Amino acid sequence: MERIRFAIIAGLVAVGSTLSTAHANNNEQKGFWKKGAATDWKSPVHDNSSHEIIYRDYPLAVDSAKLRLEEEAKKTVENAQKTIDSQKASPADPADEKQSAPLTREEIVAKYGAPSEPHPIKAQKDSPPEMQALFAALNSGDKELAWQYSVALAERNARMQQMVSKATDLQLLAFEATGQRPAEDLDPESDQVGATRLEYQELMERTKLELLKKKFEADKLLNAQEAEEGGSARLSQPQAAPSRIPVAPDGKVKLLIFFDENDSKVAEFSKSVKPLEEKFKSDANVSVVGLTMRSYALPGLKKVASRTSFPFGLVNGEALAPELRIQRYPTFVFLAVTSKETYHLEGMRGADEIEKVLNVMKGQAK
């Protein structure tokens, strides 16, 4: 019996010890936030876990609507991007692109961004670097840097104006050197010349000399064309047609008549210049030649002469017209054989007017 009682007492002591240990553990687990998150006591503790708590002083529907709009916008951009990627993978035919439908709303948003997105003002891509940098500095709010780039842009514009001014001077000098405008009159008292003229004087003289050589060589070719060889007449750049009629130093004048051989009034034109044939046929100082608008082989050129009844010899004038700056047909070009000066008359002209110009160039009338 004693043994049984001892066993019971021992068992009670063991149970009490176990209960005491369990109670101690329960005391340690009180306040589970010390051991885990509020939603899961098994997860490890982390500091400042309350940052995930959202305090809302407005209806939940506002956040729900905002979240729904963001998801729709995200899908729209994704769909547009897929469309663009598919187009890049299989480029369409240019003819099909012209007939394609306008961009959809999704494509427009993907390409240009949403209308609510702010877009900074930028300079055009092909604008000067100083201009692009100035806009970038203004967008960044860097006041000092923006001013520095504005100064750099002002200096660039000043250099640009100087460059344009010099380029304009060079064009005028080139016109003068090639005989397309009269030489600039210099002040005899000051004898001043422009800086650009002084810088390029040597090149101007070289150009004038080269053109002068070509004129003498081309004049021989033109005389050869007046024989029965056919072909295209050629002449190098002449001097510019002056506003007044020049006088040939030796009285020798060549009249070049450019006309359209296919014009409906060509027969009338040929008849209007025919009186010149009788007046100057015995004048050794005057020679007249007709120049066609197009080019022909010798048999074709003879057919044109027969069809148009042109009273003077014909040569091909298509190659010569650009060199003499023929702008319209007909055009009468009076050429001083020795000095190479020219005088132009455009449009239909009577034989009397042509005769007066020839006499002035010969030095017989004024």
Domains held by the chain: number: 1
> 156 with 128: CB under 8 angstroms?
yes
Looking at residue 28, its pLDDT comes to 45
Where does the chain show beta strands of DSSP type E? Answer: 253-259, 286-292, 314-316, 331-336, 342-346
* 338-348: average pLDDT: 90
Q: Residue 110: pLDDT above 50?
A: yes
Looking at residue 13, its pLDDT comes to 46
Name the residue among 107, 294, 319 with its Cα closest to residue 222.
Answer: 319
Looking at residue 219, its pLDDT comes to 61
In a domain, 23, yes or no: no
In a domain, 347, yes or no: yes
Distance CA 103, CA 107 (A): 6
Q: What confidence tens digit (pLDDT) does each residue in 88-103 have?
A: 665 555 555 555 678 8
Q: Average per-residue pLDDT in the chain?
A: 76
- Selection from 208-222, 241-255, 314-328, 342-356 with the highest mean pLDDT: 342-356
In a domain, 168, yes or no: no
Structure tokens at 87: 């187009």
> 346 with 327: CB under 8 angstroms?
yes
Q: What confidence tens digit (pLDDT) does each residue in 186-228 have?
A: 544 444 557 787 788 888 888 888 877 766 666 655 666 555 4
In a domain, 264, yes or no: yes
> 318 with 295: CB under 8 angstroms?
yes
> 296 with 208: CB under 8 angstroms?
no
* 120-133: average pLDDT: 84
Looking at residue 269, its pLDDT comes to 95
In a domain, 73, yes or no: no
* 136-156: average pLDDT: 91
In a domain, 99, yes or no: no
- The 8 Å CB, 24+ separation contacts for 178-187 are 178/207, 178/211, 178/237, 179/211, 179/237, 179/238, 179/239, 179/240, 180/237, 180/240, 180/325, 181/240, 182/240, 182/242
Which CATH number belongs to the domain containing residue 297 in this structure? 3.40.30.10
Looking at residue 238, its pLDDT comes to 47
In the three-class reduction of DSSP (H, G, I as helix; E, B as strand; rest coil), residue 234 is classed as coil
In a domain, 341, yes or no: yes
> 362 with 253: CB under 8 angstroms?
yes
Domain of residue 312, residue span: 230-361
Report DSSP state, residue 49: G
pTM of the predicted structure, to 2 decimals? 0.40
The mean-pLDDT minimum among 207-211, 230-234, 320-324 falls in 230-234
In the three-class reduction of DSSP (H, G, I as helix; E, B as strand; rest coil), residue 240 is classed as coil
In a domain, 295, yes or no: yes
Q: Which residues contact 231 (CB under 8 A, 6 or more apart)?
A: 225, 298, 315, 316
